[in-house]
Structure formats: structure tokens, C-alpha cells
Structure 1
Amino acid sequence: MPELGAAPRRSPQGVPYADLPHIVNADGLYLFCRYWEPGSPPRALVFISHGAGEHSGPYEEIAQRLKERSLLAFAHDHVGHGQSEGERMNIKDFQIYIRDVLQHVDLMKSRHPNLPIFILGHSMGGAISILTACERPNDFAGVVLIGPMVQMNPDSATPFKVFMAKVLNHVVPSLTLGSIDSKWISRDKTQVEAYDADELNFHGGMRVSFAMQLMGAVNRIERDIPSISWPFMILHGDDDKLCCISGSKTMYETAPSSDKKIKIYEGGYHALHHDLPEVVESVLKEVTSWITERLPTSASPQPQGL
């Protein structure tokens, strides 16, 4: 409870959290949440994990499609992102993202017991999704990954660059590297313009310390892939300049899961769910079909009487 007379906690945009759906994480930081609840009893829960520098708002279209299938989609803006508290796009430990997802998942499980749970993650959110499912492999009915960060791009992870990043992280961890080049987000110029105009997105440069956390997450994924047994589907564009497709191929080829799928979009850019209209439609169909096909029959809608 806030102290008597204390000013209400506000989002980075100045809105009191009392007026926003939110959870408070283990560090006492307020995380802005979104919920897309179907009109009928939900058949499953789907947590949506957004990527670095963005927020949960741009997943409205995917969430609405899930909602139409009687799936309850929910999300929060990760620490330091969007309408959540925390230093912008900076984290002292990547594990915080995973811990917060598990906290939110547990909350929704307590409200909707016995429902299957899925995770959908894009970009860095894909890395969060993979590591979250690896931490609790029996909790999740499946993981959907769109352009996930599984490996660092080869040109940015040469031994010399990794060595220099480690040195800089000790000397000047707050030094900023280049920012995300929005032209590689989508082949649809209106989507790129929307990304650039969205004030909830972080448009600054990435800190060396944050890059080191991403590198550490990728190393963890590499170690965990040989133990992945949960169902997963990967959707990746073969012209993705931001998250290397070779990581997705490696995960698909080497993970021992007996239920796995990869679909590669020729010429596709990074955010396939915001790419050319025909790609977006394909992605929405792939995601909703894959999840609904993995629901127990008892979770399917009952046929109407004649």
C-alpha cells in the first residue's frame, strides 16, 4: 500500500497507475498490462511478449484474432518499456524479464485454473519466451516465435567485437551504440512510419550494458536448446536484418521437441506481423490455427444443436 499522503505512482507518460491495469513486480516497479478477454469462457491463456524498445500495444491485431478464437490474450510492457516503470531499455539482469512474465502468468493461472497456457514472443520477446518456457517446461502447452532473437547477428558478434563490448561494459557501460534502424522493421512503409511516430517506442541508442544482457540471454538459449521438449512454431523472414534467421533454423533443427514447425517467409522483414498485408494475414492464420490445434478437445466449443 502507498504511504498515507504519498503522491500516486505515475507511468512515464504521467498517468496514475491507479487508472491503468497494472501489476507490481518483485522489485516494486509498476508494469502496465493489457488484457483481451473473449466474450465466452476462455479456452486457453496466451501471454504476448514484445520486443526490445517497443511495447505491447502493437500486438492488438494478433490479440484480437486470438480473442475471436475464445483465447484470452494478455501482456505487459517489460520493465523500462512503454508505460511501465524502469530505466528505458536498460536492465541489470535479463532474468528480470523472465521472472516478471512468470509472475503475470501465475496471476492469470490463479484466475483461470486448468487452462492451457501458451507464450507468443517477437524479437527479444522471443528470447524471453524461450527462456521462460525452459524455466518451467511443464507449464506451457506451446510457444510461438515471430522473428525471435536466438543468436546474435554474425557481423555484430565477431570475437573482437564481443571482446570490445566486454571491455566497454566494464569501463563505460552507459555508452550507447547505434539505435534500431526502423526501415528493417517492415516492408510496409506505413508500418515503419507508425513505428517511428509511436512515442511509446524507445528511439534512442542501445547501451553497451544492455547489449551484454542480450548476449548473455542468447548464450543461455544456446545451452538450453538441447533440452527443449515443449511444442513450438517459428515464423521468420529470410530478409530479417535485426534477428538472424540462422538462430531460428538452428533451434528448429537441433531442439529435440517432437512437435515443432518452422515457416520461412521469402523476403520477409523482422516484424512479420506488421509486414506486407498478405504476410500479416498469413501470420495471423498460422498463429491462431497452431494454438487452437493444440487445445484439448474439452476446450473446443460445443457444437450447436440443429
Structure 2
Amino acid sequence: MGEQVGDWWKLDGHAGELRVRVWPSARPKRLVLICHGYGEHIGRYEHVAAALVEGGATVCGPDHVGHGRSAGERVVIADYEAVVDDVRLAAERVRVEHPDLPLVVIGHSMGGTIATRYAQRHRPDLAGLVLSGPVLGRFETIEQLLALPEIPDIPIDIDTLSRDPEVGAAYAADELVWHGPFRRPTLLAWQRVLDDIAAGPALGDLPVLWVHGEDDPLVPLAGTRAGIAGLGASRLVERTYPGARHELFNEINADEVLAEVTAFVERVTPAAS
């Protein structure tokens, strides 16, 4: 199923070649799939994967269509349901070698939108869901940009990412990161899937960990809180971090956040522990 080249799989995604990074564990107890955020790529999650592998997970994650090393016009996503299909493709690929291991999906920002929709559509696949600064509920940035006759060519403000200035500098220098404007088709599709998520189905007893920076200027806590409340997750754990901005995995307290996430992942996969 697909071709493996070094640490990458090449799969046939909905819009062409889908590149999926894999971090294997020698003796895995669980599987974790990571969904990255808008404009970035899975390579920015090396340290997250390393922490999970140390805890006994085999980890994988795609570069979404139009992102990183995957095919597609840059940052153009016409249909988020098709991206969920791509994520399922990656999950099925990792299950080829480990069919009996429990799976947890982690989604950051836009990846949180994708991971949530995955959980709604494929609830039986999952042992748990982790959402980091997810775009859910009301995301005013989409509304504001779509109201403009032309979307301004303004990249994401690197100061919104982390209190650590080195994170912003590395992001700005990363050639695989998109440094241009938002794309209208992507925003329209994003709004549609947010509406679909709000319509359900509920996540029920699926264990969910939601982590969010209290000073996140890019995806404000209040807007996401309403979306989280609408998920109908009866086993929700919420952790917010004072002073933290958008990229919790790259914040100055990243070790604290990663410890919380890895502990949750291990807790919800006890059968394989």
C-alpha cells in the first residue's frame, strides 16, 4: 500500500501524491497520527513525535494537500472531507503493520478541525483525540477575510506563535512553510466543515484532551470554547495555559504540554500498555 522512501510513505491522496512521515517504535504499544496546521508541514512535529515514540508509540502524519511535500496548489483546500479521507488513508497504512494497536489522533489548529471531523466520521477507529489550539466553533479570521473583496497578502504574524522568539524566526526561515496570504477557496471550505462539525454527530464517550494557550491571539480561546462545548464529548479533559500563545508544542512550557499529552495518550490506550 503505497511506496516507502526512507522515513516517508508516498500514498495516492485525493489530489495526487500524499507524503506521510513515519516515526516507528521498535516495539510499539499504540499508534498516533498527527494532523498539522494551516500553512505548515509535518516536519515541524519531530520533537512531538520523539516524545510519543519514547512512550511506546509508532507515529505518523501526512503533509496535507497543498502543504509541505504533498501535491496540490499551495495551501488550497477545496474540500476538508477529502482531507479527512487522506488522513484515513494514512491511518489505514500504519494499521497494515499494526492492525491490533489502538489509535489516537492529535490535531493542531487547522489540524484540530481535521482531527475532529475524522473523529466524528470514524469514531470506532479511535481510542482518543487530542486537540491543540483547534479551530472549532467561531473563527472570526475566516469571517473577516471572506468579507473583503480581496484577501490581503499578509502572512501569519510570527509573534502569535510562541513567546520564544526562536520559534518565530525558524518559522519565517522555513521554506516548506507557506508565507503568503490565505486562499479564498480554503477559507470557504473551512467554514463549511466547521458548520458540518457543529451539526454533529456528538463524540460521546470518546476520550478527548483539549489544550489551548490562554493568550492565543491567532485562535482565541473563547471562540474555540463554544465549538468544544458543542462536540458532545462526555470524557473531555481541558487544559489551558496562562500566557501561552498558539503553538503550545513550541511554547516556553512545551515540556509541560508534551507531558500532559503523552500521559493522556498512554492513559487512553491501556490495553496495549
Q: Tell me if structure 1 keeps the 8 A contact 2:25–2:58.
A: yes
Structure 2 residue aligned with 1:143, among 129, 133, 147?
Answer: 129
1:236 aligns with 2:222: no
The answer to whether the Cα contact below 8 Å between 1:252 and 1:261 also exists between their aligned partners in 2 is no
> Which runs of 5 or more structure 2 residues have no equivalent in the other structure?
none
Work out the CA distance in 2 between the residues paired with 1:20 and 1:293: 27
TM-score normalised by L of structure 2 = 0.91
Relative distance call for 1:132 and 1:203 in structure 2 (3 A) is same
Deviation at 1:255, TM superposition (A): 3.3
Any residues of structure 2 matched to 1:184-195 within 5 Å, and which?
184-195=160-171
Question: For the residues of structure 2 that align with 1:178 and 1:28, how far apart are their CA atoms?
Answer: 26
1:120 alignment partner, SS class: strand
Match of 1:214 among 185, 190, 212: 190
What letter corresponds to residue 32 of structure 1 in structure 2?
Answer: R
Q: Which amino acid aligns with 2:231?
A: A
Q: Which residue pairs with 1:10 in the alignment?
A: none
Q: Is residue 47 from structure 1 mapped to residue 22 from structure 2 by the alignment?
A: no
Q: Which residue of 1 aligns with 2:11?
A: 24
Question: How many correspondences in the alignment?
Answer: 269
Q: Secondary structure at the match of 1:200?
A: coil
- 1:245 and 1:194 map into 2 onto residues whose CA distance is 25
Answer yes or no: is the 8 Å Cα contact 1:121–1:129 preserved in 2. yes
Q: Does 1:129 align with 2:115?
A: yes
How far, CA to CA, are the matches of 1:254 and 1:151 in structure 2?
Answer: 8
Structure 1 Cα separation of the partners of residues 66 and 54 of structure 2: 31
In structure 1, the residue matched to 2:270 is 296
Instruction: Measure, in 1, the Cα distance between the counterparts of 2:135 and 2:232.
Output: 19
For residues 123-162 of structure 1, the C-alpha deviation after alignment (integer angstroms, 9 at most, x for no partner) is: 000000000110011110111011001034336536xx65
Shift of 1:96: 1.8
SS of equivalent to 2:28: coil
* Alpha-carbon separation, structure 2, partners of 1:237 and 1:286: 14
How far did 1:296 drift?
A: 2.5
SS state of the match for residue 199, structure 2?
helix
Distance 1:99 1:239, change over 3 A: same
3-state SS of 1:74 partner? strand
Q: 1:77 aligns with which of 57, 63, 82?
A: 63
> What is the one-letter code of the residue matched to 2:203?
I
One-letter code of the match for 1:188? D
Which one-letter code corresponds to 2:25 in the other structure?
Answer: P
TM-score by length of 1: 0.82
Partner of 2:202: 227
Taking the aligned partners of 1:249 and 1:68, their CA distance within structure 2 comes to: 31
Worse-matched range after superposition: 214-223 or 96-105:
214-223
Amino acid at match of 2:119: A
Letter in 2 for 1:232: V
Match of 2:106 among 111, 120, 126: 120
Per-residue deviation at 1:177? 5.2
Deviation at 1:222?
1.6
- Map of 1:96 onto structure 2: 82
Quick one: which amino acid aligns to residue 289 of structure 1? Answer: A
CA contact (8 A) 2:15 2:72 kept: no
> Could you list the runs of 5+ residues in structure 1 that have no partner in the other structure?
1-16, 301-306
Aligned equivalents of 1:54, 1:134: Cα separation in 2: 24
Other structure's SS at 2:123 match? coil
Contact 2:162 2:246 in 1 (8 A): yes
- Amino acid corresponding to residue 101 of structure 2 in structure 1: L
Contact 1:144 1:287 in 2 (8 A): yes
Give 1 or 2 for the bigger CA radius of gyration. Answer: 1
RMSD: 2.1
